[in-house]
Amino acid sequence: MAYIDFMSVLHKSTIRDYLARVNDSEYPKARAAESAKKWDFDYWDGDRRINYGGYSYIPGRWEQVARRLNEHYRLPENPKILDVGCGKGFLLFDFLKIRPDAEVYGIDISSYAIANSKEEVRDRLSVGNATKLPWPDDYFDLVVSINTFHNLYNFELAEALSEFQRVGRENKYLCVESYRNESEKVNLLYWQVTCESFCNPDEWNWWFDYAGYSGDYSFIYFE
């Protein structure tokens, strides 16, 4: 298990006004969170004050992450790749640009995201929960999950991490939100609308050990 940062390049490209999200008169934090946790239109394509404000495909954005993953992990020919919390499937679509021989799969809790996913990979995506992955043991050559596991409740984490471990062979990578100090903790609390597991790096590593997760990981911080 190693700390490998594939995500800061995207995370740090977004400018965030933490206080504005908390104090907005029309969509104050509590109202935004209630809408976002339905994982429907408002979460993906509704007002930016709720969450993404329109989650559309941007050519090249996820390709840089896919390329770094492919360069780091030694994948066989015709690799099977799973994205847990795949959203609209943009990462998987861009992965096929790098590895057109790949067999990609994705799963997400949001039926809206799957219905509005990238058409080219939609038949490879399914609605489901990270706590119960519908694939056999050691099925995938690479399993990834980006910004998903912190949205699970504490009582779901061990099961989801165990499932993540179970379906993948050697290569696994996940990224979650975290904080290193009180300033980053406050910013995370202000900005997030769906996070349920607020863990610092030591706590996340405790969860990884507890669940027997042996794959790679990284954290994003709200600086």
pLDDT at residue 172 is higher than 80: yes
* Residue 12 confidence class, pLDDT cut points 50, 70, 90: confident
* Mean pLDDT across 121-125: 98
DSSP 102: -
- pLDDT tens digits, residue range 15-51? 888 888 888 889 999 999 999 999 999 999 999 999 9
Q: Give the separation between CA 191 and CA 163, rounded to whole angstroms.
A: 29
pLDDT at residue 137 is higher than 90: yes
Which CATH superfamily is 8-220 part of? Vaccinia Virus protein VP39 (3.40.50.150)
Count CB neighbours of 19 within 10 A.
Answer: 11
CB 62 within 8 A of CB 87: no
pLDDT at residue 14 is higher than 90: no
pLDDT at residue 1 is higher than 90: no
Pure H helices in the chain: 8-11, 18-23, 29-36, 41-45, 63-72, 90-98, 111-115, 154-167, 182-191, 201-211
Q: Give the separation between CA 126 and CA 113, rounded to whole angstroms.
A: 10
CB 99 within 8 A of CB 79: yes
* Mean pLDDT across 69-97: 97
Q: Which residue has the tokens 């006004």?
A: 17
pLDDT at residue 123 is higher than 80: yes
Helix, strand and coil percent figures for the chain, each rounded to 5: 40, 15, 45
CB 2 within 8 A of CB 72: no
Structure confidence at residue 139 (pLDDT): 98
User: Which residues, 6 or more positions from 50, have their beta carbon under 8 angstroms from its beta carbon?
Assistant: 27, 32, 35, 36, 42, 43, 193
pLDDT at residue 165 is higher than 90: yes
In 3D space, the residue among 149, 214, 172 whose CA is nearest the CA of residue 80 turns out to be 172
pTM: 0.95
Q: Give the separation between CA 49 and CA 191, rounded to whole angstroms.
A: 10
Q: Give the separation between CA 31 and CA 197, rounded to whole angstroms.
A: 19
Count CB neighbours of 165 within 10 A.
Answer: 17
Domain ranges of the chain: 8-220
By percentage, how much of the chain surpasses pLDDT 90? 90
